[in-house]
A and B are shown apart, each in its own frame.
Chain A
Amino acid sequence: MSGTFVGMPAFPKAAHEAVNNQTLRGNLRHATHTIRGKRAKAVAEVSDWAALREAGKQIKDHTLRHLDRYLVQVEEAVTAAGGTVHWAADADEANRIVTDLVKATGETEVVKVKSMATQEIGLNEALEAEGIRAYETDLAELIVQLGKDRPSHILVPAIHRNRGEIRDIFAREMSEWGRPAPEGLTDTPAELAEAARLHLREKFLRAKVGVSGANFVIAETGTLVVVESEGNGRMCLTLPETLISVVGIEKILPTWQDLEVFLQTLPRSSTAERMNPYTSTWTGTTDEDGPRAFHLVLLDNGRTDTLADEVGRQALRCIRCSACLNVCPVYERAGGHAYGSVYPGPIGAILSPQLRGTQSEIDASLPYASSLCGACYEVCPVAIDIPEVLVHLRERVVEGGQVTREGNKVVLRPAKGHAAERAAMRAARWAFSHPGALRTGQRLASRTRRLHPRSLPGPGRAWSATRDLPPVPAEPFRDWWQRTNGGKDGAK
């Protein structure tokens, strides 16, 4: 995945720093609670929500189990409609394809509509390295780009910034990238949006190359679908002469009719609207309307490895609505940056370690970035059982075992940091299967209970740093049972 997050500390450390940032926590709390409330209302308006959710799940599962067939169908349909299809096994290959396509046009700048896939592969940085400047055009992405920052939410990437911070970023940075911010810019959202409009319009009107992702690709027709609010998507998709769309292979839907499910569930789950302001669909190229050249880059980058995992593959149903972020008590406090990936929150905690593997410290820590409360599963419009996958990935981190990486089966060794946990579990198993030893140990623990420390020494310190050790009772339960005949004797 992206090089953007190289060197990120593991989740616990990053989260620890984030929760001490009062501004960040305030901004996040306000944002997640507002969207959460609105979403519940938008969903309640639709009486058949449960049926739509089930249909969405089934459509995605069906597509995934026949993905090879649908990929070939997409290729045929897009080609027949005048587009060109490219296949990218990993981020480097996708970046190389896009860079070469841009270079072939002779252009040195591109306008971009917000796309998780291009963030995932670090496309902007790859283009920059080849002397091509990529302008993000979604307002929140613009804030992030100008602020030399990282996105912290799937839907509202600048959720961690308040209006004062945004004003300062615009006033300071806009002139570096093109039209400067107006003199005397205040921090009212309307003025800030106007500044962004003026700054970006000059770029839209002259752009020759646009880069996008897609929310859906329809296999039977070769149609791409982009859902947005601001109109920057429409600008990038229709004004340039060349359009390049980078799309994860899991974004396919079999038929045009399938959109009737997702165009109902996606807007209500993400922005809590009946419908987002703009949805664009296009099929190849159209004479005199829109780009003359259209390229679709089909991206694997860990998706087939995820597909190989029987429990974890359901993460590929994700339609990137971000509902799970907004209900997650952990995300609300830690913020998106702590996840060290473009996919934060509960979905990020299961998607990133699968796309990238669990070898790095940050990826091994992500399955633990959850309280397993289940709220994310409840709100998911395609019913991804995120807690189930989290537990499954925890087991993988601790126990190791066979996984697929870059198409090959490999055996993972247990993660290093969990040696003490495994040793403790082995000891517990032995003790429970040796009743005599257990009894002796329990009596010993009771008798020495006044000497017990409040926290654990050695490798157990991390565990007890965030928890109190349970107090040891004065008498083991089994002794009490024997002494009092199970409480029947009335003695305490």
Chain B
Amino acid sequence: MWRKMPLLMTALMFGYAFLYGPIASLIVYSFNENRLVTVWSGFSTKWYAELLQNDQILGAAWLSVKIASVNASLAVILGTLAALALVRYKRFKGRQVMETMVTAPLVMPEVIIGLSLLLLFVAMERVLGWPEGRGQLTITIAHVTFSMAYVAVVVQSRLAHMDQSLEEAALDLGAKPRKVFFAITLPLITPALVAGWLLAFTLSMDDLVVASFVSGPGATTLPMVVYSSVRLGVSPQINALATIIVVTVSIAVAVAGVLMYRKEKRGL
């Protein structure tokens, strides 16, 4: 590799250094004793201890996890339905519009999604009296709206590459369509559903802009707390929080990777 294309490999290594350098610096300095984040004065875990006593951050983190789980589950259901509709039914009224609506949230700037949804919620509350105020519910609705698009894309590609002869065989053998769906289609697309759920979960955990627009005074998510504390300056507690997030995500991805690798090996 190196000998065949040294320039390319240098570019690749530079790219990885660029991607991981900042993350590595966060992790290293989360163990820094000094309050000034960039002055090293010895190893310490005191920022982790402080973080674990910070009720504001812990409360926000719990709220974010709750919203993200509900969001991911709803997004998987809706996104899968959208993917099924687009892959299985080539012709239906409003297909074009639906196709656009499924792709658009992937690229649409978050400020626009947030602003437009807030305007909708305000108008709905005035006319229908629902949703009452803004908070957990409105954030969840907003998150489902943009994360179901990501789920739909993931499931769509899985469905498109799936062998349909199994379903046809089951139907020929007299299985009811509902049974075929739950006994054959669903298990076959499960990896995509899991990937989509995880993606929707992280998107929701990570979202600052949309949540800021559609949340009320009672609901502050983790990114909102992080954002307000980051604007006040660099804080070692945030470094500790970042390290925890990075380590959790890396472990989750590694476990998922190993599981998938084993499954594939068994399947072959």
A binds B: no
